[in-house]
Structure 1
Amino acid sequence: MDEVDRRKLTSNRSYLVKNIYKTMNVVDKLMEDRIITDGMKQDIEAERTNDDRNRRLLDIIPRRGPQAFEAFLNALVNTDNDFAAEQLSPGAGSIYKVSMTSSEKGMVSPEEEKPQNQHSEIILPKKWPTEQDCVTDFIVKKCSHSEERKWQSDYYYKMRSKPRGRVLMFNNFVAVAHRVKEDGSWKEKLQMREGTEKDEQSLRRLFEQLHFDVEVKKDRKVEQMRSDIAEEKAHPFHKDADCFILVFLSHGSTEGIYGTDGNVLTTDEVKSSFNNKNFGSMTNKPKLIFIQACRGDKYDKGANVADNMAKDMSDARKSMSALNLNDPKLENVDEADSKVEKSPSNADMFIANATTQDNVSFRNTKFGSWFIQALVYILRNYACQTDLLDMLTLVNKLVSEGRALDRDRNISVAVSVFESTLRHKLHFFPGLTEVVTHSPQD
């Protein structure tokens, strides 16, 4: 390997360590090209984390001869690590790309595969959530060039800049205090929202690949959330942004979202804060709100499908070791997050909730919440080909496939819900961007 290529690997090492996806797929490709030996593959595979495997691979590549750098670029491009190849050599994506099926790339199952130059058939998992589908290390599928006509169309909201806009995310892990009776006396305890860190990681990776800047605020009281919201609205970046996204990961009630102090930030206040009248820099632009929180303490027993009830109960009990109901009285299955030109003021808004009014939502302590993980799964696979409203209908479908046990150990279900005053279609157009003209840090 010549010195120029060696320097490219060295200067980009930190980026490559964090951003090469599914390292062993890259290694397999390099073995096919006789760059990596079986012994080297075993050494890489023995590393504990994906970052460590990337480090070991980057230690090996410079020692593998004059063809190693080009073979490495080829392997990156053809395992859907185009972004890493482009970091090393701009234009590598178009030079090294070959026609491969999705199953050959090891990215999706054969039934999800799409014919060349056509939209993929939408096939959803039969169960939800599952460890196989709720992953944080994923690549958002990019738009094909056939989507560029829509990208320029007035029927779609403008989504062209890089970054598109900002995501403000509230993640309350240490949640509201509650009283429990132990040994004849009442004691204060904190409910921890196990699994919410998985949601945060998945959402950050999703939105960054959809060309958004993401900021996370953790463990906030209601007054702190109000202050954060006021500061966000005053951010000069929004004047040139295409879109704004707000996310809440917390416990909730019939009125709204709990802060860590046990007070409630009402959903009505949140919606009002970000409407066209009160968020002037984003007037006529899409404002999206996603709320992972309960909206009451009721459990939806669902419509009785007699033939399936016994199997559902069996499946739910089998998964008990990994799951946990976040309830002061019981901890066992999936956790409930209880507790100048005029424009219409409330136009251009989209609000999605993890569950319907008065009902609990569910969060798996290992896989993440049903709703957020479904949102991430659908957007990472289908934002390249369809719009927001169609995708959230698919999210509703996935969430409804979940099964949990309530306090009485009966099967409970849930379904997410959304409302929209959007006036155009909203397509994220992943992979399609104009020249960077602004930055949240400016």
Structure 2
Amino acid sequence: MYEMNVEDRGKLTSNRTFLVKNITKTMNVVDKLMEDGTITDDLKQDIEAKLTDNDKNRKLLDIIPRRGPKAFKAFLNALVKTDNAFSAEQLSPGAGAIYKVSMTSSEKGMVSPEEEKPQNQHSEIILPKKWPTEQDFVKDFIVKTCSHSEKGKLQSDNYYKMRSKPRGRVLMFNNFVAVAHKVEEEDGLWKEKLQMRDGTEKDEQSLRRLFEQLHFDVEVKKDRKVEQMRSDIAEEKAHRFHKDADCFILVFLSHGSTEGIYGTDGNVLTTDEVKSSLNNKNFGSMTNKPKLIFIQACCADTYDKGANVADNMAKDMSDARKSMSALNLNDPKLENVDEADSKVEKSPSDADMFIANATTQDNVSFRNTKFGSWFIQALVYIFRNYACQTDLLDMLTLVNKLVSEGRASDRDRNIAVAVSVFESTLRHKLHFFP
């Protein structure tokens, strides 16, 4: 059997770490490869014998380069047909469009109708009537790419520079086992109340796929105490990478309070502290560049019962998901310094920052234990469909709209609602130019 060509082999090698972490349902991929003879039954057994998914992926990636010059295309085809189009795109941009032509509806998995439209085509922005719906929590997705006319905005002074590859770094904190709060027992002692954040792994996976397709490097820190989060952020800021980057993104997936984000130790990292640590004064390598913060956590434990818009609101309860639990946060400060005739070029300390929260102050946010949180999944839905044609502020307005369509139930079985919120000191439009 002839060897795979050097270029294809190089793509597999340079993307190995990414593929090991991101290929899902490995044995389904193997079955597809067996159908066209790329992999034999003996090789399948070698892969199946591995104990973890990552080890199965490593073994598969060891085998593919030895299966001949056609194996690379067969591998791309198998990835697309097993809900791994995201990984196929990483190896070969455009692979999703090439190979999905022959896919049946059942092979596509949960693909939204919006994603069937051709790429590079400005689509009318039409949001789902209800949120969340299972159809829109897709297993895999491909971020729509910009048209030629949209990319022309790259040179405009009205837009932040977003041309480097990677664009920047994403630091994501995902506290699955988190302390919601501390409760006082009868003996006067305080005890930590631990809560599992089921569904947060879906948020992490979706965000990783989204930001990597938007050309960001993504690093995830899991189950961190407050001091560890402080240390991680300080270490991140010292990263030499940021000197040449165009943007930085910080994400928190955790429990929250009116003041900030809970660590796994029950302490709170305040939102004000996070914002201050990332401002133009304290994050020198990102001065004048956009710093984005996304927070999926509660802003306390109040359920928003909403305003009575129509008498038929109650009928929506039948569609409310009963497997929702809550979380979010936020709080800003402003400073003004007016120094008229300064000769030194300066930037406002708090300029070029953007922060979005899953819910408004004092209220809970909602997380589906199977599919992820309303806010994060709405953000992913909007970004993957419309980052190709509109800017950040417009997209977060759409996210607010989508989150507000959700209906859940509070502790007393009354209808509860939520709306996400954002604040911005950005001085230019921010377009991701996917």
TM-score by length of 2: 0.76
8 Å Cα contact 2:288-2:352 kept in structure 1: yes
Secondary structure of the corresponding residue to residue 162 of structure 2: coil
Matched to 1:4, the amino acid is: M
8 Å Cα contact 2:179-2:193 kept in structure 1: no
Matched to 1:334, the amino acid is: S
Shift, 1:352, TM fit: 0.5
Identify which of 248, 251, 263 aligns with 2:252.
248
Quote the Cα distance in structure 2 between the aligned partners of 1:392 and 1:171: 21
Secondary structure of the corresponding residue to residue 397 of structure 1: helix
Shift, 1:306, TM fit: 3.9
- Higher mean C-alpha deviation, range 50-59 or range 278-287: 50-59
Shift, 1:424, TM fit: 0.8
- Matched with 1:168 is 171
Shift, 1:397, TM fit: 0.9
- Asked if 1:335 is matched to 2:326, the reply is yes
Secondary structure of the corresponding residue to residue 279 of structure 2: coil
Shift, 1:203, TM fit: 1.2
Quote the Cα distance in structure 2 between the aligned partners of 1:216 and 1:20: 17
Matched to 1:315, the amino acid is: D
Shift, 1:138, TM fit: 2.1
- Asked if 1:151 is matched to 2:154, the reply is yes
Matched to 2:245, the amino acid is: A
- Matched with 1:283 is 287
Shift, 1:263, TM fit: 2.2
8 Å Cα contact 2:388-2:433 kept in structure 1: yes
8 Å Cα contact 2:4-2:72 kept in structure 1: no
Quote the Cα distance in structure 2 between the aligned partners of 1:125 and 1:379: 14
Structure 2: runs of 5+ lacking an equivalent: 331-343
Shift, 1:388, TM fit: 0.5
- Matched with 2:375 is 371
Identify which of 405, 408, 411 aligns with 1:404.
408
Shift, 1:54, TM fit: 8.9
8 Å Cα contact 1:102-1:108 kept in structure 2: no
Quote the Cα distance in structure 2 between the aligned partners of 1:178 and 1:227: 23
8 Å Cα contact 1:175-1:193 kept in structure 2: no
Quote the Cα distance in structure 2 between the aligned partners of 1:262 and 1:151: 44
8 Å Cα contact 1:130-1:367 kept in structure 2: no
Deviations 1:197-234 (A, max 9, x none): 22112111211121111222222222222222222222
- Matched with 1:265 is 269
TM-score by length of 1: 0.75
Identify which of 211, 216, 220 aligns with 1:212.
216
Structure 1: runs of 5+ lacking an equivalent: 324-332, 431-442
Quote the Cα distance in structure 2 between the aligned partners of 1:102 and 1:143: 24
- Matched with 2:131 is 128
Quote the Cα distance in structure 2 between the aligned partners of 1:66 and 1:239: 41
Quote the Cα distance in structure 1 between the aligned partners of 2:311 and 2:137: 28
Shift, 1:36, TM fit: 8.2
What pairs up with 1:384-395 in 2 under 5 angstroms?
384-395=388-399
Identical-pair percentage: 79
Quote the Cα distance in structure 2 between the aligned partners of 1:337 and 1:256: 8
Shift, 1:258, TM fit: 1.7
- Matched with 1:293 is 297
- Matched with 2:362 is 358
8 Å Cα contact 2:4-2:66 kept in structure 1: no
- Matched with 1:3 is 3
Quote the Cα distance in structure 1 between the aligned partners of 2:301 and 2:428: 35
Shift, 1:269, TM fit: 1.6
Matched to 1:370, the amino acid is: W
Describe the shift of the 1:55–1:214 C-alpha distance in structure 2 as closer, same or farther (beyond 3 A).
Answer: closer
Shift, 1:342, TM fit: 0.6
Describe the shift of the 1:426–1:86 C-alpha distance in structure 2 as closer, same or farther (beyond 3 A).
Answer: closer
Shift, 1:358, TM fit: 1.5
Pairwise CA RMSD of aligned residues?
4.4
Secondary structure of the corresponding residue to residue 220 of structure 2: strand
Shift, 1:85, TM fit: 7.0
Quote the Cα distance in structure 1 between the aligned partners of 2:125 and 2:103: 14
8 Å Cα contact 2:192-2:266 kept in structure 1: no
Secondary structure of the corresponding residue to residue 169 of structure 2: strand
Shift, 1:255, TM fit: 1.6
Secondary structure of the corresponding residue to residue 4 of structure 2: helix
8 Å Cα contact 1:136-1:198 kept in structure 2: no
Deviations 1:307-350 (A, max 9, x none): 4333222222xx43xx1xxxxxxxxx433458952111111110
- Higher mean C-alpha deviation, range 363-372 or range 219-228: 219-228
Quote the Cα distance in structure 1 between the aligned partners of 2:182 and 2:57: 44
Describe the shift of the 1:161–1:3 C-alpha distance in structure 2 as closer, same or farther (beyond 3 A).
Answer: same
Shift, 1:262, TM fit: 2.2
Describe the shift of the 1:338–1:417 C-alpha distance in structure 2 as closer, same or farther (beyond 3 A).
Answer: closer
8 Å Cα contact 1:293-1:337 kept in structure 2: yes
Secondary structure of the corresponding residue to residue 402 of structure 2: helix
Describe the shift of the 1:187–1:98 C-alpha distance in structure 2 as closer, same or farther (beyond 3 A).
Answer: closer
Deviations 1:140-183 (A, max 9, x none): 2222333221122222111111111111112222224543879x
Describe the shift of the 1:270–1:102 C-alpha distance in structure 2 as closer, same or farther (beyond 3 A).
Answer: farther
Shift, 1:57, TM fit: 10
Deviations 1:69-92 (A, max 9, x none): 6677688899995973784xx7x8
Quote the Cα distance in structure 2 between the aligned partners of 1:247 and 1:335: 17
Deviations 1:8-43 (A, max 9, x none): 57983856676679999999x999xx9689xx9xx9
Describe the shift of the 1:36–1:382 C-alpha distance in structure 2 as closer, same or farther (beyond 3 A).
Answer: farther
- Asked if 1:192 is matched to 2:196, the reply is yes
- Matched with 1:330 is none
Q: State the number of aligned residues.
A: 406
- Higher mean C-alpha deviation, range 307-316 or range 344-353: 307-316
Secondary structure of the corresponding residue to residue 350 of structure 1: strand
Shift, 1:272, TM fit: 1.3
8 Å Cα contact 2:120-2:145 kept in structure 1: no
Quote the Cα distance in structure 1 between the aligned partners of 2:55 and 2:264: 36
Quote the Cα distance in structure 2 between the aligned partners of 1:201 and 1:76: 17
